[in-house]
Structure 1
Amino acid sequence: MNTKLWYAVPAASFCEAMPIGNGSLGAMVYGKVPEEYITLNLDTLWSGTGRRKELAIDKVALLHAKKLCMSGKYYEAQKIIEKKLLGQYNESYMPLGILRYQYCDVKEYTSYKRELDLEHAVVSTEFTYDRKYYRSEIFASYPDNAIILHFFCDTKKKLNVTFELESRLHSISMENGKNGITIIGNAPTHVEPNYVKSDNPIVYESGNLGMPFCCSMKVKIKDGMVHCVNGKVFVEKASEILVLLAASDGYQSDTIEIDFSMNNCIKKVDSIFQKVEKITYQQIMNRHLEDYQPLFKQSKLYLNEEDNGKTTDRRLKDFKEGASDFGLYCLYYHYNRYLLISSSRRGTQPSNLQGIWNESIRPVWSSNWTININTEMNYWLAGICNLTECFEPLLSMVEQISKVGQETAKNYFHCRGWVANHNVDIWRHTEPVSGMAKYAFWPMGGVWLSVQIYDYFKYTSDTELLEKRIYPIMKGAVQFSLDWLEKGQDGRYHTPLSTSPENTFRDWDEKECSVSYSSTMDISLIKELFKNYANASNILGIEDELLEQVRMKSLLLPEYQVGKNGQLQEWIEDFTEEDPAHRHFSALVGFYPGTIINIYDTPELIESVKHFLDRRLSYGGGHIGWSCAWLINFFARLGDGDKALRFLNNLLIKSSYDNLFDLHPPLGENEGEREVFQIDGNLGAASGIANMLLRSCYGRIELLPALPTQWENGEVTGLLAEGGIEVDIKWREGKLIAAGISTKYEKRVQVKYQNQVWNMYLKADKREIINCRFV
């Protein structure tokens, strides 16, 4: 089975290195010999001070902009927004530090290999020098909240290694006993986004007002000696070395504030060491595997694969040149699930634009949570790929955003409930940021997040979770939506100021514009939210005035429109788009990940969805990793497995680094742009693969709804259907031969494969088998 990435040379760059993480601590392992270089991250280490950024509210300007927009004066409304209604940029995710170590007596080496073992979540590096075998292992333990390194040589007392820690942030290094090093410091008080021109983009205010942090390592050895000199740890003549690395900062997740006490940071790190120092390497490893493997093993993909013995970079190169490699699809699926497990665990921050792996003080797009597609895409796989445990950080963040967003809804938009716009940082910024209306002004962020977290319930059927945590969030987003909607001259309720994220059109005066009213995305998201809220209310037995308002306004939302090219219209009018190959497919959010547009209830719209896709692709759309991943999901939902596979191939061929990280190219919109790793393409691709093999969003379980012709033989285990139903599927020669279905709760389900339908009664924890050998 394809669960290992391996290479015959060390990594030369960040996007050749191999990631490890426990949701909080992350590291990129280069595997360099004799001098290794490992970049470190901590999920809560951000620039900023925790001080609330109060936006000066111009109520008259907001009302004026809405009036202009609803009367068709879109460009004038946009200018008011950009002049008077935007705020400040949010903060940036910081690199923690760098761990360096050097084999003191190793020079020319042979038999080199570095490997990421997805089954064990361990990166190893091995080589031979002077007829001696050396091996190092590194992993991030969630149970022990530490990064663990283990060094071994097959000849006793031959390990001579030096270690040092450093940080690019303002920091100092100090010795920690005879066997450790600690760095302490502060993050910047402000960092301008990478796309903003500034003479002073990285700011450190006097008084150490940025986030305090502490990163520490300790060394344990078998045989030999260890001592510290000038901020380095020297190990001599050891047979084995165990390195423990822990970190903390001053972020207070319950209050979204900073504890500026450096002593408290140090104490938190010391408490981690006190627990982990008492146990052996094997015990630490066992605890790590007992935690990690149940998650990873919940779903596996097998295709007609063979072990070709090639390194991963060679496999990818050959694939790009046209070689067939079914195992590469499996490896990619398993790797992408690994990335979510490694970047999103209970008690951590959710996976951001780069998961938890960032090496830059000014990362691209601040490595924040961009909630007009990217954050949501990160979690599309959490349900269907059977990683519902990984939803928890997203739900926790949305709970916090919903509280901060109440003030923004009240003071900025004059609405009940809560709101968020397109960017969120660790300080839970919910106001429009600075810059341009096409991205900054998008008050549907809270609506989409509310729709996304409802998936957590749909895939678990946890009514207590729904009642106590998810429903209150949805209710606040519903209140905002009801108040934000305004009745137009056509008698329908519209969003009075609207954008289709980051896209622009030519208005009737040929001016480039982004603002209109009732973009298709706005209306789709509100329809999806209202539908989910009504369903949740029914499940919880709630009947109240708010629900009545939802029902009434649901009937009076704008209808979908089909444009002159047969496409689902993106805006309220059939404008000409400025960029017909635009990376966002916002108009189709009601089709995927939403279900408002579907083959059963709105069959008349499916052709317009296809025309939208065909038109966008004919101009070169889908050229960016996450955009390509969205296409995989679209075509899977359309039941077109061959087109879905085409874009999965494109993602691997055009948008993947050698370590299989997703590559985001420069957009050409700002100076200094560069290609960068962005995790959404990885995570969105995993959901796309799963959606080719299972569909459950329409009230039934559909098996192999979009199986690619090339995938003649295969098996997938542990996919999750809505309702928390686990599904295993096996097929041969493109036909289903068997499926296993199980659930924790008694359920009646309908299962469909092509023209065959099974109505089944599932008993709790009992696996039912469908045998289709003669289909």
Structure 2
Amino acid sequence: MNKTLKYISPAKSFTEALPLGNGSLGAMVYGGVPEEKITLNYDTFWSGTGHREEKEIDSSTLEQARKLIFEEKFWEAEEYMKKNMLGFYNESYMPLGILSYVFEKVDEPKEYVRFLDLENAIFTSKFKNHETEYISKMFISNPAKALVIKITANGMDKLDLKVKLDSEVQHTIKTEKDCCLYVSGNAPSNVQPNYVACENPIVYDEKNPGMAFCCYLQVTHKGGTVSADLDGLKIQEAEEVVFYLTAADGYKKYNQRIETNPEVCEKSCGNQIQKLNSKTYKELEEEHIADYQSVYKNVSLELEEIENDLPTDERLKRVQNGKQDLGLSCLFFHYNRYLMIACSRKGTQPANLQGIWSESIRPVWSSNWTININTEMNYWLNGPCNLIESFTAFVDFVEELSHAGEETAKKQCHCSGWTANHNVDIWRQTGPVDGEPKYAYWPMGGVWLCSQSYEYYRYSRDLEYLKNKIYPSLRGSVLFCLDWLQQREDGLYYTAPSTSPENTFKDGEGHACGVSYMTTMDLAIIKELFANYLEACNVLGIKEDLIEQVNERSKLLPNYQIGRTGKIQEWIKDFEEFDVGHRHFSPVFGFHPGHSIKKTDTELVKACQKFIEEKVANYKQQIGWSCAWLINLWARLGDGTKANYYYEELLRQSVYNNLFDLHPPLGETEGEREVFQIDGNFGSASAVAEMLLSSEDGKITILPALPESWESGKVKGLLAVGGVEVDIAWKNKKPISISLCSSVDQSINIFYGNKKLTEKIELKKQEQQIIDLHSCEWI
């Protein structure tokens, strides 16, 4: 129920098209008639050459910035840093190709419908023309590494198709035999971000070319004929056609030379096609479904909604007009889990700002990894929503950055360990980009990444990943922070320079300043880092002198502060904010997504809530990812009614017809446009899980923030900390049963509201326990 997106007309734009993906290869399917259009992406296909020297910042330059900051000459410090301490813009994520085909005999399509089946990750479109039914089914297989499309004509007419491959980047088109078509070429050597005005924003340098790429299409057919020329393939009088499309590019690893010869990619694609030829379409489909469902798992949400067969865009419009649709709330949750699997699998790149789906050669914000919130938010859902396999792409990404960031730590920050600032591209740029210090200079990016990476262990209990991938990155970040923290006359340690991501305060002369020392965000994520490091050492049985250093330094960090209005303070001093409704909720990181502010810390929790309320009261516009963060915060505060209000607000104001989250223009630079940004999708799914289940080691709380309107329902397959799968059923707003299945032997206390089950639950590895709560005693 509510696991299928349905539409009764073809997509007119990217934001109506439907996404497919296997983590690496992505497609946006328009479902067009008579012309179908499918735009293609590949997760490692970026502009750039991989050759970039790390900018060096002399230690005296850093010390001068600190001197100005500690003298509280914040505006002077900011201008000094802008001139001397910023770097180069990222490269950009590239579109790969465009597959199109025309139904040449179709002129009066009727009874059109298209679906995206979330349980099987299959797109289907159907229509009739002259009493012949045309059916297209397509999926992107992870095992086969290919887009597979089957088109059938059932009736008097046969299939006449004209097929083309194209690309937005420089390319050539070739045919092979009579059934193969491919497009290949090279990415640009450099692409400037869309917000940078320059004469030549897209550069192809023949002496230093970008990576090679190829899309390779093979057609098999039942009946009829296929012919090829440079205009594409022509299929005539076929009963059934199957397309197989593979892709490759020249990226190897961030620190290895790229392949610039397209012929190498062509050969790689051809070899992959040959492997597919040994299997039937049915075998490939069955293999794809089994692989996908092994990751998707049996996770579902039902809210006793009325069965609804309306098209998804019509349902969305009704919600935007004030109607309630609990089923659409469920569908959105299932869709967002689907998107994670489609754009993040073991061995792929992690989800970027647009997952893997982008049609622009100059995508907004370069479609990069923005690590001052967006990349981490992408992966908030993976633990609680039971998407552990898709989490590994993020953990592997952090491990690579920890090596790349050692040079930045050494040459720019004069610290040991590693660091990363707010923007990262495929070449693992970790230094500050150009622009403004309020966003560009943020060496805490790596620290936040480590916190989110550690969540993989908390939910999976994967000791091998903890030991070999998470712990080394964690330790390197600890080394960086110990060197980066500066002791002042009061004996406490502070970060400097320090920013609260993208926000500004007024100095004494009314300047908008972003630079100060030890913002609350810096303090919170360092606290999180130190706590995770100490826990990891304990779990792994590590004994080293660094443990004592971390324990001592933790005691000498400043405390959280509460400002004059009763809200948690954003900066080291109670400055006046320039934009009270700023989109970031950075100062409450310690409460969510961090854990250093506990629910039992009554005064600090109250101060966090006050911060949230003031922020919302001054919002200028609804921004998807910021709204998703707000849903999570209200869920953690235990207010399901407000959490659900903003969950529905996201649907009302911040999603397109294909349920992609949107980001509006901020009004900060010329040429800004509304754009799809996937963090709002993923962040909202995390919030749904937080409404229904909260957990920590040995403790599970059920329905901690159940919305008033979710009166009865059930959720299956959520994951608690410690690797416990949890099913919950409730009626009349009260839980009636729970089911638990643990990946390890452990004891669990179950809480509901302020009550605890009298008996601890003893769980045996992989043994399901079903508990009827009607017969249980609570204390």
2:713 matched residue in structure 1? 714
**What are the residue-to-residue correspondences of 1:205-224 with 2, within 5 Å?**
205-207=205-207, 209-224=209-224
2:762 matched residue in structure 1? 761
Q: Is the 8 A contact 2:173 2:230 kept in 1?
A: no
Q: Alpha-carbon deviations, 1:669-711, whole Å to 9, x = none?
A: 0111110000000000000001000000375100000000110
| Cα distance, 1:133 vs structure 2 | 0.5
User: For 2:357, what is the secondary structure of its paired residue?
Assistant: coil
| Cα distance, 1:541 vs structure 2 | 1.2
1:180 matched residue in structure 2? 180
- Paired AA for residue 39 in structure 1: T
2:427 is the alignment partner of 1:427: yes
| Cα distance, 1:254 vs structure 2 | 6.7
1:345 matched residue in structure 2? 345
Q: Is the 8 A contact 2:697 2:721 kept in 1?
A: no
| Cα distance, 1:498 vs structure 2 | 0.2
Q: Alpha-carbon deviations, 1:495-521, whole Å to 9, x = none?
A: 011000011110122111000000000
Cα distance in structure 1, aligned partners of 2:632 and 2:337: 16
User: For 1:127, what is the secondary structure of its paired residue?
Assistant: strand
Of residues 152-161 and 640-649 in structure 1, the stretch that sits farther from structure 2 once superposed is: 152-161
Q: Alpha-carbon deviations, 1:700-758, whole Å to 9, x = none?
A: 10000000011001100000000111000000010000000111210011111123323
User: For 2:740, what is the secondary structure of its paired residue?
Assistant: strand
- Paired AA for residue 704 in structure 2: P
With normalisation by structure 2, the TM-score equals 0.98
1:726 matched residue in structure 2? 725
Cα distance in structure 1, aligned partners of 2:576 and 2:424: 31
| Cα distance, 1:30 vs structure 2 | 0.6
- Paired AA for residue 690 in structure 2: N
1:366 matched residue in structure 2? 366
1:202 matched residue in structure 2? 202
User: For 2:564, what is the secondary structure of its paired residue?
Assistant: coil
User: For 2:99, what is the secondary structure of its paired residue?
Assistant: strand
1:491 matched residue in structure 2? 491
Q: Is the 8 A contact 1:100 1:164 kept in 2?
A: yes
**What are the residue-to-residue correspondences of 1:48-67 with 2, within 5 Å?**
48-67=48-67
2:750 matched residue in structure 1? 751
1:416 matched residue in structure 2? 416
Cα distance in structure 1, aligned partners of 2:208 and 2:413: 35
- Paired AA for residue 764 in structure 2: K
2:288 is the alignment partner of 1:288: yes
Cα distance in structure 2, aligned partners of 1:394 and 1:253: 15
1:335 matched residue in structure 2? 335
- Paired AA for residue 138 in structure 1: M
2:530 matched residue in structure 1? 530
1:103 matched residue in structure 2? 103
Cα distance in structure 2, aligned partners of 1:476 and 1:425: 21
Q: Alpha-carbon deviations, 1:622-646, whole Å to 9, x = none?
A: 7100000001100110000001001
1:321 matched residue in structure 2? 321
2:243 matched residue in structure 1? 243
Cα distance in structure 1, aligned partners of 2:372 and 2:621: 17
| Cα distance, 1:59 vs structure 2 | 2.5
Q: Alpha-carbon deviations, 1:650-672, whole Å to 9, x = none?
A: 10000010000001000000111
Q: Is the 8 A contact 2:699 2:750 kept in 1?
A: yes
1:116 matched residue in structure 2? 116
> How much is the aligned-residue C-alpha RMSD, in angstroms?
1.2
Gaps (5+ residues) in structure 1? none
2:644 matched residue in structure 1? 645
| Cα distance, 1:406 vs structure 2 | 0.4
Cα distance in structure 1, aligned partners of 2:177 and 2:53: 42
Cα distance in structure 2, aligned partners of 1:662 and 1:295: 23
2:15 is the alignment partner of 1:15: yes
2:28 matched residue in structure 1? 28
**What are the residue-to-residue correspondences of 1:438-477 with 2, within 5 Å?**
438-477=438-477
Cα distance in structure 2, aligned partners of 1:766 and 1:622: 48
1:625 matched residue in structure 2? 624
Of residues 72-81 and 247-256 in structure 1, the stretch that sits farther from structure 2 once superposed is: 247-256
1:667 matched residue in structure 2? 666
- Paired AA for residue 509 in structure 1: E
1:772 matched residue in structure 2? 773
2:365 is the alignment partner of 1:384: no
Cα distance in structure 2, aligned partners of 1:361 and 1:446: 28
| Cα distance, 1:621 vs structure 2 | 6.0
1:543 matched residue in structure 2? 543
Q: Is the 8 A contact 1:150 1:241 kept in 2?
A: yes
2:301 matched residue in structure 1? 301
Aligned residues: 774
Of residues 314-323 and 330-339 in structure 1, the stretch that sits farther from structure 2 once superposed is: 314-323
**What are the residue-to-residue correspondences of 1:83-94 with 2, within 5 Å?**
83-94=83-94
1:149 matched residue in structure 2? 149
| Cα distance, 1:535 vs structure 2 | 0.5
Q: Alpha-carbon deviations, 1:341-378, whole Å to 9, x = none?
A: 00000111100000000000000000000000000000
- Paired AA for residue 760 in structure 1: I
| Cα distance, 1:555 vs structure 2 | 0.5
| Cα distance, 1:208 vs structure 2 | 5.8
- Paired AA for residue 652 in structure 2: I
Cα distance in structure 2, aligned partners of 1:747 and 1:698: 10
User: For 1:215, what is the secondary structure of its paired residue?
Assistant: strand
Q: Is the 8 A contact 1:450 1:474 kept in 2?
A: yes
Distance change >3 Å, CA 257–CA 396, structure 1 → 2: farther
User: For 2:381, what is the secondary structure of its paired residue?
Assistant: helix
Of residues 240-249 and 696-705 in structure 1, the stretch that sits farther from structure 2 once superposed is: 696-705
Cα distance in structure 2, aligned partners of 1:774 and 1:2: 32
| Cα distance, 1:155 vs structure 2 | 2.5
| Cα distance, 1:490 vs structure 2 | 2.0
Cα distance in structure 1, aligned partners of 2:625 and 2:534: 31
| Cα distance, 1:267 vs structure 2 | 1.9
Of residues 199-208 and 552-561 in structure 1, the stretch that sits farther from structure 2 once superposed is: 199-208
- Paired AA for residue 129 in structure 1: N
Structure 1 segments (4+ residues) deviating >3 Å: 254-257
2:609 matched residue in structure 1? 610
- Paired AA for residue 709 in structure 2: Q
Q: Is the 8 A contact 1:622 1:628 kept in 2?
A: no
Q: Is the 8 A contact 2:186 2:260 kept in 1?
A: no
Q: Alpha-carbon deviations, 1:206-231, whole Å to 9, x = none?
A: 23611110111010001110110223
Of residues 591-600 and 338-347 in structure 1, the stretch that sits farther from structure 2 once superposed is: 591-600
Q: Is the 8 A contact 1:298 1:386 kept in 2?
A: no
**What are the residue-to-residue correspondences of 1:578-589 with 2, within 5 Å?**
578-589=578-589
| Cα distance, 1:157 vs structure 2 | 6.5
2:702 matched residue in structure 1? 703
Cα distance in structure 1, aligned partners of 2:43 and 2:327: 32
Q: Alpha-carbon deviations, 1:76-100, whole Å to 9, x = none?
A: 1111110000000010000001111
Distance change >3 Å, CA 214–CA 240, structure 1 → 2: same
User: For 1:647, what is the secondary structure of its paired residue?
Assistant: helix
Cα distance in structure 1, aligned partners of 2:271 and 2:683: 37
User: For 1:245, what is the secondary structure of its paired residue?
Assistant: strand
Q: Is the 8 A contact 1:663 1:676 kept in 2?
A: yes
Of residues 618-627 and 488-497 in structure 1, the stretch that sits farther from structure 2 once superposed is: 618-627
With normalisation by structure 1, the TM-score equals 0.99
Cα distance in structure 2, aligned partners of 1:200 and 1:567: 47
| Cα distance, 1:313 vs structure 2 | 0.5
Q: Is the 8 A contact 2:485 2:494 kept in 1?
A: yes
Cα distance in structure 2, aligned partners of 1:156 and 1:222: 15
Q: Is the 8 A contact 2:34 2:106 kept in 1?
A: yes
| Cα distance, 1:256 vs structure 2 | 4.2
| Cα distance, 1:156 vs structure 2 | 6.6
1:687 matched residue in structure 2? 686
| Cα distance, 1:15 vs structure 2 | 0.4
| Cα distance, 1:471 vs structure 2 | 0.4
- Paired AA for residue 502 in structure 1: E
